[in-house]
Amino acid sequence: VKNIAGKVALVTGGSRGLGAAIAKRLAADGAAVAITYTSSPDKAAAVVSAIEAAGGRALALQADSADPVAVQAAVAETVKVLGRLDIMVNNAGILAIAPIDQFTLADFDRTIAVNVRGVFVASQAAAAHLPQGGRIINIGSVNADSMPFAGGSVYALSKGAVASFTRGLARDLGPRGITVNNVQPGPVDTDLNPAHGPFADSLTKIMALGRYGRAEEVAGLVSYLAGPDGGYVTGANLTIDGGFDA
C-alpha cells in the first residue's frame, strides 16, 4: 500500500517548479491531487497528464492566490470532485526584488497578497475540511531566517510571516490532530530562481554543498511530512537549503 493511498491533496501553484514536483510526488505516494495555477493552463494540464499517465488522479484549477474567493472556490472544488481534503500544500509564491528606495507599494501589496494572505485564506478554507491526521504544509523560504543579499527585504518579510503563522496555526489545529509545518528551501532550480540565472554564482558560493537543490529533493521532504512518519512533527520550520544558512 502506498504511503498516502486514499488521501486527497491540494497544491497551490502546481503548474511549474516546486509545486509541480510536489504534486507529482504526492500522487506517486498514492494521493489524488488538485493543483492551482494562474497563467499557465498548458503547464497545469501537462502536470495532470503526467500524473494520470502514471496511474494517478489529478485536477487543475485556475485560482490566483491573491484572490480569496478563487482560493476558497478551489478548496471547495477539490472537495467536490475528489471527495475530501487531507493535505493542503501552500506552495504558490512570488519573488519581487528591489532595493528599499525602489520597492513599489504595488509589489509590496502583491507579495503580501500571494505569499501571506493567500496562505491564510487557503489554510482557513482547508481547515474546515481537514480530518484527524490532516496536514497543512507551507513552502516558506530559508530567507525567513537568512537574507544574505540586498533587495530581498519584502520577500524575507513575507516568508517570516509564513514561519510565524505556521507556529501559531499548529496550536489552533493540534487539538484536532492536524499538523502544520513550513518547509524552508534554499536555492532550488526553477523558473523563479534558475540554477544558471543572474544570482546563481553568488548563491552557489555560500552553500555548503555548492549546488542548487532539485525540486524533487524538496518534494521528498513534503512527502515525509504528508505521510504517517511525519505525524509527530508540527509547528516546525524545516530548512532544506544545501547548507545555505549553515
| Contact residues: ligand NDP, CB under 6 A | 12-19, 36-40, 43, 64-66, 91-95, 114, 139, 141, 185, 187-188, 190-193
Q: Are 168 and 125 in contact (CB under 8 A)?
A: no
Query: Among residues 22, 78, 65, 84, which one has the least CA distance to residue 225?
Result: 22
Q: Are 52 and 58 in contact (CB under 8 A)?
A: yes
Nearest approach in angstroms of CB 93 to ligand NDP is 2
Nearest approach in angstroms of CB 83 to ligand NDP is 23
Q: Which residue has the cell 504534486?
A: 23
Nearest approach in angstroms of CB 41 to ligand NDP is 8
Q: Are 98 and 151 in contact (CB under 8 A)?
A: yes
* Dihedral angle sign, alpha carbons of residues 201, 205, 211, 213: negative
Given the complex with ligand NDP, which of 92 and 136 has the nearer CB atom?
92
3-state helix, strand and coil shares in percent for the chain, rounded to the nearest 5: 45, 15, 40
Nearest approach in angstroms of CB 57 to ligand NDP is 19
3-state SS track over 12-63: CCCCCHHHHHHHHHHHHCCCEEEEEECCCHHHHHHHHHHHHHCCCCEEEEEC
Nearest approach in angstroms of CB 177 to ligand NDP is 26
Given the complex with ligand NDP, which of 121 and 188 has the nearer CB atom?
188
224 catalytic per annotation:
no
Max distance between CA atoms of the chain, in angstroms, equals 55
Given the complex with ligand NDP, which of 3 and 62 has the nearer CB atom?
62
Given the complex with ligand NDP, which of 133 and 199 has the nearer CB atom?
199
Q: Please report, to the nearest 10 degrees, the dihedral formed by the alpha carbons of residues 187, 102, 117, 229 taken in order.
A: 10
Given the complex with ligand NDP, which of 38 and 237 has the nearer CB atom?
38
Catalytic residue among 37, 155, 224, 232: 155
So which residues are the catalytic ones?
155
